[in-house]
């Protein structure tokens, strides 16, 4: 970005409505020019973000930015009363989402066409109870429990389980979600919600662990325990999943995709030392990555071979 452009753009702002850029002296031709050059990014109709800010953001942050752009862009043009819901509310709550698009979901008491909101918005009609609404990141959205229930109705089994596991880990009330589920008999998507409620486990620490557990169940392999603590000469070691009696541990090595850190060299070294110590005590380790979850036959044979030793 040139010094001249920096001076022209409003200081202290990164997100603008078209009207705000007009007030700052930018006509439509200049705005279009800045978009073509990448100095501005058009997030949605009538809302723009500084290009270098967008370029530096992680995908998860970009998804949140799109919701913020909707909130900013509709501040003075939309009817009041809607709240962010479904997977948009899930993002505001910081929940894990597996392969979910960036469409913005809003819920309001009255019906509105999708075109009136914009093609990037999915409107839902529902009168929410006061207890179903929270303010998160400065925006009105559905409560944690309502968010999970609504989201599972539009997600598949695997996506629902990832969401439910994380929600329970963050403190969602399973009994409350079960009551909500009981009121949805016959609704589309309720089967995925019921299945997630039955199989969810708050001990799962990442989507990878959740999907590993789901795959084991689907392949009808006996289920391991989660977050198993064992001792060795190197100290205490916590295993992602383990069959205690058979001394088989299953470790998922793809956590960095969903966490804002990557293991340092020292951490990896210590991890391998602990694994070596446990191996000397008779433990067998199965290490898997994301790609292994999509090679089901190979995955199945590796696990069965380890369990049969």
* pLDDT value of residue 114: 58
**What is the edge-to-edge ordering of all strands in the sheet holding 284-288?**
225-232, 235-243, 248-252, 284-288
For 173, other C-beta atoms within 10 Å of its C-beta total 14
Directed axis angle between helix 174-182 and helix 144-152, to 10°? 50
Nearest to 143 by CA among 128, 158, 154: 128
Residues 61-93: tens digit of each pLDDT? 999 999 999 998 876 444 457 999 999 999 999
How confident is the prediction along the chain (309 residues), in pLDDT tens digits per residue?
Answer: 444 444 467 677 889 999 989 988 899 999 999 999 999 999 988 899 999 999 999 988 999 999 999 998 876 444 457 999 999 999 999 999 999 999 999 999 987 665 567 788 999 999 999 999 999 999 999 999 999 999 999 999 999 999 999 999 999 999 999 999 999 988 889 999 999 999 999 999 999 999 999 999 999 999 999 999 998 887 888 899 999 999 999 998 876 667 766 666 766 677 778 888 888 899 999 999 999 999 999 999 999 999 998
First to last CA, the chain: 62
| pTM for this model (two decimals) | 0.87
Q: What is the CATH number of domain 207-308?
A: 3.40.960.10
Residue ranges per domain, the chain? 6-56, 64-199, 207-308
């Amino acid at each position: 970005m040139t010094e001249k452009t920096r001076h022209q753009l409003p200081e202290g702002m990164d997100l603008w409505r078209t009207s705000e850029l007009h007030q700052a002296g930018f006509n439509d031709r200049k705005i279009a020019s800045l978009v073509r050059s990448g100095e501005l990014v058009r997030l949605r109709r009538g809302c723009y973000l500084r290009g270098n800010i967008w370029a530096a953001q992680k995908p998860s942050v970009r998804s949140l930015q799109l919701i913020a752009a909707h909130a900013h862009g509709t501040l003075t043009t939309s009817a009041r009363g809607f709240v962010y819901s479904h997977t948009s509310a899930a993002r505001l709550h910081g929940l894990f989402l597996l392969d979910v698009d960036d469409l913005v979901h809003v819920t309001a008491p009255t019906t509105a066409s999708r075109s009136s909101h914009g093609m990037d918005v999915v409107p839902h009609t529902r009168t929410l109870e006061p207890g179903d609404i929270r303010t998160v990141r400065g925006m009105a959205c559905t409560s944690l429990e309502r968010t999970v229930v609504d989201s599972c109705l539009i997600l598949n089994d695997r996506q629902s389980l990832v969401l439910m596991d994380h929600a329970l880990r963050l403190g969602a009330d399973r009994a409350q979600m079960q009551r909500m589920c009981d009121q949805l008999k016959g609704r589309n998507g309720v089967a995925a919600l019921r299945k997630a409620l039955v199989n969810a486990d708050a001990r799962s620490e990442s989507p990878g662990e959740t999907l590993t557990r789901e795959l084991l169940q689907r392949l009808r392999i006996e289920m391991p325990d989660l977050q198993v603590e064992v001792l060795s000469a190197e100290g205490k070691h916590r295993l992602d999943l383990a069959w205690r009696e058979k001394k088989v541990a299953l470790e998922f090595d793809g956590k960095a995709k969903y966490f804002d850190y990557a293991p340092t060299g020292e951490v990896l070294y210590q991890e391998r030392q602990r694994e070596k110590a446990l191996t000397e005590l008779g433990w067998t380790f199965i290490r898997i990555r994301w790609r292994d979850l999509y090679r089901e036959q190979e995955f199945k044979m590796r696990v069965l071979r380890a369990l049969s030793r």
